[in-house]
Amino acid sequence: MAEVRTIGVVGAGTMGNGIAHVCARAGFAVVLYDLQQAFLDRGLSTIEKNLAREVAKGKLTAQQADEARARITPVLELDALSGCGVAIEAATEKFAVKAEIFRNLARVLPAGAILASNTSSISITKLAAVTARPAQVIGMHFFNPVPVMQLGEVIRGLQTSQATFDAVYGLSQKLGKTPVEVHDAAGFVSNRVLMPLINEAVYAVMEGIATAEAVDKVFVLGMAHPMGPLTLA
C-alpha cells in the first residue's frame, strides 16, 4: 500500500484524543472526527494539556508541541476522512456502534485504505464482515493513557492480509509503540489474561482470604505490578 500520510481518528474521547495525540506527535496529519463540537473541543483541550505536560517534562519543545497540535483537524462529517490512508476507530465499546462506523468508513475511505479498531474485546473478524474489504480490517488496541503506554496489540482478523498487518505493525512503531502480534480471540491477550486475575482477586476478598488492600499489596510488592488488580478494576 502507499505510504500513509494522513490518519483519521473516529472518536475524540479518552482513547481517541490520545491516539490523535500520538499520531500528530509522530508527524502525521490527523483528521479527528466526532458527533458533536463539544466532544471535539473537550478532546482537543485534553490534547493541548497533555502536549503542554510533555513540554514541561522536556520530552517536546514548545515548537514541536505547537506543530503537533496544528496537524490535527477536527471535523463533524465522516466524509472528511476521505483522504486518509488509515482510519482508527475509537468509539464506544458496542458492536452495533462500531459496525455502523465501519460500514460508513468503508464507503468513505479510498480503496487501498486500512480500517483499524481500537476495540479491547470485540471480534475483528466480525467487524471486518460488515465491510467489503475484510482483508484491510485490523485491530489496533492502544492502552490508556495512550501518549504514555508503550504497548500496542495488533490483532489479525481471519481475513486480515499480511500487507495490512505489516503496514499497521510498522505504523505502530512509527507512533513510538512496541507492537505485539495477536490473533482474534475473546479479550485478545491483555483482557483475556487480566479478567480472570481481577475475578480471582474479587473472590479472595469475598471469601475472606484477605482485604482488598492486602490483595493489591501482594501484587504491588510481591509481583512488581504498578497497581493491584482491584485498584486497576
Span 173-205, pLDDT tens digits: 999 999 999 999 888 899 899 999 999 999 999
Whose grid coordinates read 466480525?
A: 126
Measured CA to CA, the distance from residue 184 to residue 190 in angstroms comes to 12
Give the end-to-end CA distance of the chain in Å, rounded to a whole number: 40
> Taking 90 as the threshold, does the pLDDT of residue 3 lie above it?
no
Mean pLDDT value across the chain = 96
Alpha carbon distance 110, 5 (integer Å): 13
CA distance 39 to 165: 31
pLDDT range class, residue 2, cuts 50, 70, 90: low
Q: Residue 112, Cα to own-chain centre: how many angstroms?
A: 21
For the stretch 7-45, pLDDT in tens is: 999 999 999 999 999 999 999 999 999 999 999 999 999
pLDDT at position 168 over 90: yes
Where does residue 51 rank: exposed (0-12), middle (13-18), buried (19+ CB within 10 A)? buried
Active-site residue, 141 included: yes
pLDDT over threshold 70, residue 1 = no
Residue 126 near residue 95 (C-beta atoms within 8 A): yes
pLDDT for the residue 66: 97
Peptide bond between residue 179 and the one before it cis (omega within 30 degrees of 0) = no
| Angle subtended at Cα 55 by Cα 51 and Cα 59, rounded to the nearest 5 degrees | 100
> E strands, 142-199, where?
151-156, 178-183
